[in-house]
Amino acid sequence: MREEALVVVGGAQGSGIETSALILASALARQGYGVLSNREYYSNIVGRHSYIHLKASATEIPRSLSYPVNVVACIDAESIFTHFDDLADGGFLVYDTGVSRTRLIQIASMEPETRASISGKLKSLGAGDTVESLVSTLESMFKVKPVGLGFNSILDVLAQKTGMSKSEVQRFRSSIIVGAIAGLMDLDQNALNYAVDRRFGRRPKLAEINKMLILGVMDDVKESYGAPLKLENPKLGLEELLLVSGNDIVAMGKIVGGLRYQAYYPITPATDESTFHETFESLKVDGESLGSIVVVQTEDEIAAVNSAIGAALAGVRASTSTSGPGFSLMVEGLGWAGMNEVPVVVTYYQRGGPSTGMPTRGSQSDLLFTMFASHGEFPRVVVASGDHLEAFYDSIWAFNVAEKYQVPVIHLIDKFLANMTATAPLPEWSRVKIERGTTIIEVNSKGSSWKRFDKSDTISPRPVLGSGVVTWYTGDEHNEWGHITEDPRNRLEMYEKRWKKMELMDSEIPEEERAALYGGGDEDFLLIGWGSVKGPALDALRRLESKGYRGAFLQLRVFHPFPSKLVSKVLSSFDPERVIDVENNIMGQAALSVAMNTGFKVRKYILKWTGRPIYEMELASGIIDVLEGGKSRVVLSYGK
């Protein structure tokens, strides 16, 4: 038995592989295993190549993904050609024997650049350009074990048992993949049934057909191949686990944090968060109503941020979620919120840019944009989460900070984290605190004007709209009452009043909450990173430790206000030539932020901007290239 298993499931977009992966992940989590699953897909609805990369562990909750994998399971020929070289020697290739004679040139959905690259790989192996030839080469050269299944024959049997037509049973092709992987891993049948019911619970007939097919294929594969990828009994020691995507757990955090208004315009990869909110608009616990969440799909992103600002002015916790192109449109509203000291939260899911860029691929290229977005200078908070549980707590923290200091908060989640499904322990409820600041709901002097921007207080009392007093808001510079004025003395005082919040936040928010150092204190090199880099960085350091390398990781979590003292202290204890910045962008934007706030200039970089996540094995190799190979800049590129 094994401690862990790595799987790739590939097929055309719309062919059911996302459902297949969710069923596998749910079954594994139900048995108590740690799971991390990433979905990579093109920005179309049906047809283009899509795949799931999944890791299951008996000993821990996985923090990152890596290659090679133990199983590549393919619904179509394109997946075989695309992922054959992701397989470990002796791994298992699950495929449909009905595509054996398909040639590479026949796959019309494949991009020319991809086809040319694969053709070169086939020639270097001496393999032909058919699936049959490639499978034979893999079997002889790399001891790959083909698990060839006649998909059409299996579905014909299903049609006979259920009375469905041959065309109707075609939609169950992905369930054959689930059964094959379940057989190789010897998954628990009760856990599989639970996972199927979880996915198809509202359609019991569909659930029963899937169970019949999955368990039948599972038994056949076990009989033919045994259970070579069976995992050890789980050792996580957790009675309860969450299985959530990044989008889902951000939504959960907002709900727990008191969200009452969410505005959005659909955009990848942010939309899933708001659709989650729509599912839970009415909040109940043990039958008791806790109120509701108003979720509004607006006509565009400008309307989304402005309506969220309006809701915040009315006294509720309000937010919007978007990605790069949408945030570009929100920037004017962000400046209005900064001028008027509005506590609004923007959850920013980063994807590949510029312009439309790569809508379904990930990036960390918008950090500097969020730090300086909108003209003029005003206080804001920029926080970046490194894993699913952090994203939960940060979603609550964002509301607390926004209201306590009356500033807009931008919560950065990169696409990798957003679209990764992971197991996570239940949150520690002792860490969940709600702080609403100086919000005034009721006042005694109803009908009178209010010094909304009282210059005697850095944080002025904030009566909400509808509380009974008259407050004025404008996008122009204003005086204490909110009336427009361009008087230079007033401008000096109001500008300073707002900016003093940065100093106040810097003094009151512990730096240990804004940056985290992972290490024992005796390391001889340091990685710097943020966001989803956290997982592969920690895993790469663990991998290298077994080879005699001792490294630490400095996770930057809050970029405004930047934890300058703590970061400077950490950096001062390392040789500058052995400090390495790791990011998913070309500029090394976090390193630039470090230089701006501490004066320390990073000299070594490991960067990736292909739109695919950083994998543990390529990062570990890149670190060695820097430490031993003398490279100052390593560019990572693994991924399909």
What are the structural domains, with CATH classification, of the chain?
Answer: 4-225 (3.40.920.10), 243-431 (3.40.50.970), 439-508 (no CATH), 516-635 (3.40.50.920)
For residue 305, pLDDT over 80 is answered with: yes
Tell me the Cα Rg of the chain. 27
Which of 141, 140, 154, 47 is closest to 95 using CA atoms? 154
pLDDT at 527: 98
551-556 vs 515-518, strand pairing mode:
antiparallel
In total, the chain counts a number of residues equal to 640
Q: What is the pLDDT of residue 227?
A: 95
For residues 364 and 590, what is the distance between their CA atoms, to the nearest angstrom?
9
- Helix (H) or strand (E) segment spanning residue 243: strand 242-245
Residue 574 has phi, psi (to 5 degrees) of -125, 150
pLDDT of residue 290: 75
Asked if 397 contacts 385 with a C-beta cutoff of 8 angstroms, the reply is no
State how far the Cα of 9 lies from the Cα of 627, in Å rounded to an integer.
35
pLDDT at 443: 64
In the structure encoding, which two tokens stand for residue 351, read together?
A: 């994807």
| pLDDT grade for 340, boundaries at 50, 70 and 90 | very high
Would you say residue 547 has pLDDT above 80?
yes
The neighbour count for residue 630, using CB atoms within 10 Å, is: 9
Report the alpha-carbon distance of residue 577 to residue 571 in Å, rounded.
11
The separation between CA 6 and the C-alpha centre of its own chain, rounded to angstroms, equals 19
87 or 1, which is more confident? Answer: 87
SS3 304: helix
pLDDT of residue 634: 98
For the stretch 578-609, pLDDT in tens is 999 999 999 999 999 999 999 999 999 999 99
- What pLDDT is attached to residue 444? 61
Per-residue pLDDT, 449: 77
Q: What is the pLDDT of residue 202?
A: 84
pLDDT band at 446 (very low <50, low <70, confident <90, very high): low
Q: Give the whole-angstrom CA distance, residue 281 versus residue 213.
A: 36
Contact present, 354 and 323 (Cβ < 8 Å): no
Once rounded to an integer, what is the mean pLDDT over residues 232-256?
Answer: 95
